[in-house]
């Protein structure tokens, strides 16, 4: 590599620094316990909601119902120093340590859907599960007034807060009605297959138990319970009630419409509200620690109204997704045009400087001293400044030329680029200036810290095998 290349190397690096993206990126991490239909809907809503914030990136992780994996994922998000974590815990107990670690790291944590034993979280957004159970208990009581009614409860995993609180609220409600009786509880792990098998085992163990009503803590498990009851030949006269009310082919709304369920309770995902809360927190705006989402019963009487509202929400999401696609296309085209302009400007500068440098370098000895190299770098950088491509804030001037400091800085970095222990402080010491002076020069000319400039310069030097002669 010849002398002209050495002279142009700092200029190229500086150009890359000056034309780099300076937009702050907010990174939000999310850890979800599973991949249920409800969770998938929430993922989609959060992603769409993030489109309204171009400077926000979302990192969504799925723990696949594994508590240990979810704790590991939480620690990974903390180690990445994300700006905020959205956390849907698998179980109620067991996250105290990781939540404390997030707090000590200064990372806010939003709990969604489920609660935890620890109080070391920033905010909670979700429904009141005790109220969900109470609402369904009162509704069932109204549907079975004056007659003895026997209820089979299909409860969710007992180690989770929704199962705890829905069961508690439901039992408190029906306790007010002497004609309502819970004859048994079949537990499941919040999915259809688990509910089917667990209910089948229960029915086999209790062949003489009669029930008129099945209350399932979630819609999909309710379908599994129904399958088991039909297989056991005990489905006659049984009414089914669930929770979630998702607008899918096997969701609660469709089951109510078809008459498979008597009713379900809307469990809104509210991904837009989650994102709004997250942005309020990271932007330092006021927020509530507890954000309770209202729920309601859906049956034949109001299914059309609810589905119309759901369709409107879906159409709105589709519009936002299309708008985001157009915005992304615009940015891609803008980036291409920006690159085209930058390349043309650089080619022009390269040609002009090449002619100028050739006339000057041809007169020099091949063994240029380091002092002469620094002088040439300084000359080029000052030329860029005079032509308006680099500006210096006169208010922050200090003794010595910032342009000279930068040229000397580039020389020193190129010299030590292959040293694995290279750092900004080492370079500042070699230059005989303070790190604060070096930082002032770098920030003034490149809007980057010395650490960033060292990293970018080393990467360029190593990639292009640059060596200072």
pLDDT in tens, 86-106: 999 999 998 999 999 999 999
Give the CATH number of the domain where residue 134 resides. Answer: 3.40.50.2300
pLDDT (average), residues 11-39? 68
Residue 255 and residue 284 share a domain = no
The residue ranking higher by pLDDT, 227 or 466, is 227
pLDDT tens by residue, 397-442: 434 467 778 778 888 888 888 888 899 899 999 988 998 888 888 8
pLDDT, residue 395, reads 38
Question: Mean per-residue pLDDT for 129-140?
Answer: 96
Q: Has residue 376 been placed in a domain?
A: yes
Tell whether the model's pLDDT for residue 71 goes beyond 90. Answer: yes
Q: Are residues 239 and 281 in the same domain?
A: no
Residue 312 lies in a domain: no
Q: Render pLDDT for 102-120 as a digit per residue (tens, 0 to 9).
A: 999 999 999 998 999 999 9
Q: What is the pLDDT of residue 317?
A: 56
Order of strands, sheet of 56-62, starting from the edge strand that comes earlier in the sequence: 56-62, 26-32, 84-88, 109-112, 123-127, 290-293
Same domain, 168 and 232: yes
pLDDT computed for residue 398 by the predictor: 38
Cα dihedral angle (321, 327, 331, 333), rounded to 10 degrees? 100
**Strand duo 290-293 + 109-112: pairing:** unpaired
- pLDDT tens-digit map of 261-290: 999 999 888 888 999 999 999 999 999 999
End-to-end CA distance of the chain: give it in Å, rounded: 10
Q: Is residue 338 part of a domain?
A: no
Q: What percent of the chain has pLDDT over 90?
A: 46
Distances (CA, A) of 392 to 296, 349, 376, 423, 431: 62, 20, 20, 25, 21
Tell me, yes or no, whether 372 and 455 share the same domain.
yes
For residues 132-160, one letter each, b for 16 or more C-beta atoms within 10 angstroms of the residue's C-beta and e for the rest, the string is bbbbbbbbbbeebeeeebbbbbbbbbeeb
pLDDT digits (tens, 9 = 90+) for 163-183: 999 999 999 999 999 999 999
């Amino acid at each position: 590599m010849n002398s002209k290349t050495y002279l142009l190397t700092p200029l190229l690096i500086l150009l890359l620094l000056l034309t780099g993206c300076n937009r702050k990126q907010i990174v939000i991490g999310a850890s979800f316990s599973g991949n249920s239909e409800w969770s998938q809907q929430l993922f989609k809503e959060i992603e769409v909601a993030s489109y309204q914030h171009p400077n926000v990136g979302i990192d969504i992780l799925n723990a696949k119902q594994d508590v240990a994996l979810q704790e590991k994922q939480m620690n990974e998000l903390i180690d990445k120093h994300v700006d905020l974590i959205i956390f849907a815990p698998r179980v109620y107990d067991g996250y105290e340590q990781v939540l404390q670690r997030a707090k000590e790291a200064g990372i806010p944590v939003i709990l969604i859907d489920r609660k935890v034993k620890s109080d070391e979280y920033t905010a909670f957004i979700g429904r009141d599960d005790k109220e969900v159970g109470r609402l369904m208990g009162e509704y069932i009581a109204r549907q079975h007034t004056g007659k003895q009614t026997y209820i089979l409860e299909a409860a969710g995993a007992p180690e989770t807060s929704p199962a705890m609180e829905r069961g508690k609220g439901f039992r408190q409600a029906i306790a007010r009605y002497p004609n309502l009786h819970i004859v048994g509880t079949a537990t499941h792990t919040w999915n259809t297959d688990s509910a089917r098998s667990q209910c089948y085992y229960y029915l086999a163990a209790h062949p003489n138990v009669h029930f008129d009503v099945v209350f399932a803590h979630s819609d999909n498990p309710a379908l599994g319970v129904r399958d088991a009851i039909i297989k056991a030949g005990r489905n006659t006269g049984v009414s089914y009630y669930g929770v979630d009310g998702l607008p899918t082919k096997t969701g609660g709304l469709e089951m109510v419409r078809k008459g498979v369920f008597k009713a379900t309770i809307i469990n809104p995902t509210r991904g837009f509200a989650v994102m709004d809360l997250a942005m309020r927190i990271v932007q330092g705006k006021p927020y509530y620690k507890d954000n309770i989402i209202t729920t309601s019963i859906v049956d034949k009487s109001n299914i059309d109204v609810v589905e119309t509202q759901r369709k409107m929400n879906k159409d709105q999401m589709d519009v936002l997704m299309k708008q985001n696609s157009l915005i992304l296309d615009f940015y891609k085209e803008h980036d291409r045009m920006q690159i085209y302009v930058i390349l043309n400007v650089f080619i022009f500068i390269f040609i002009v400087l090449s002619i100028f440098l050739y006339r000057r370098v041809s007169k020099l000895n091949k063994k240029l001293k380091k002092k002469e190299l620094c002088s040439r770098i300084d000359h080029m950088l000052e030329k860029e400044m005079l032509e308006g491509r680099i500006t210096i804030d006169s208010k922050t001037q200090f003794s010595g030329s910032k342009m000279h400091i930068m040229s000397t800085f580039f020389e020193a970095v190129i010299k030590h680029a292959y040293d694995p222990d290279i750092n900004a402080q080492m370079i500042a010491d070699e230059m005989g200036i303070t790190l604060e002076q070096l930082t002032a020069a770098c920030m003034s000319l490149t809007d980057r810290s010395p650490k960033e400039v060292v990293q970018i310069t080393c990467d360029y030097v190593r990639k292009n095998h640059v060596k200072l002669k």
